[in-house]
Amino acid sequence: MSAQWSEEQIRMLINERKNGNEEYHRTPNCNKRNFWEDIANEINRVNNTNYFTGEDCNKKFLALTRAYYVSNMIIK
């Protein structure tokens, strides 16, 4: 079962990824798992939850970016 995301949690995910953009691009692919785990830990800490994983964060971010690009293609 996938995690349920509130709007606040999604905004936090986007901001954490945006703020870590330089680190993300500097990190070898094999270590990106740690990058996403750090974001998940921060979201869990701030929201007093324990169910977000690094994989959840990565998948959600990919889905958001994919939806963004698809919506831009439809508009154009």
Each residue of 55-70: pLDDT tens digit?
999 999 999 999 877 7
Q: Does some domain include residue 65?
A: yes
Q: Does some domain include residue 2?
A: no
Model pLDDT, residue 12: 98
Stated pTM of the model: 0.86
Q: Does some domain include residue 70?
A: yes
In 3D, which of 14, 15, 9, 22 has the Cα closest to residue 52?
A: 9
Q: Does some domain include residue 47?
A: yes
Q: Does some domain include residue 55?
A: yes
Identify the domain containing residue 66 by its residue range.
Answer: 7-75
Q: Does some domain include residue 1?
A: no
Q: Does some domain include residue 19?
A: yes
Model pLDDT, residue 27: 92
Domains of the chain: total: 1
Each residue of 4-49: pLDDT tens digit?
999 999 999 999 999 999 999 999 988 999 999 999 999 999 999 9
Model pLDDT, residue 13: 98
Q: Does some domain include residue 27?
A: yes
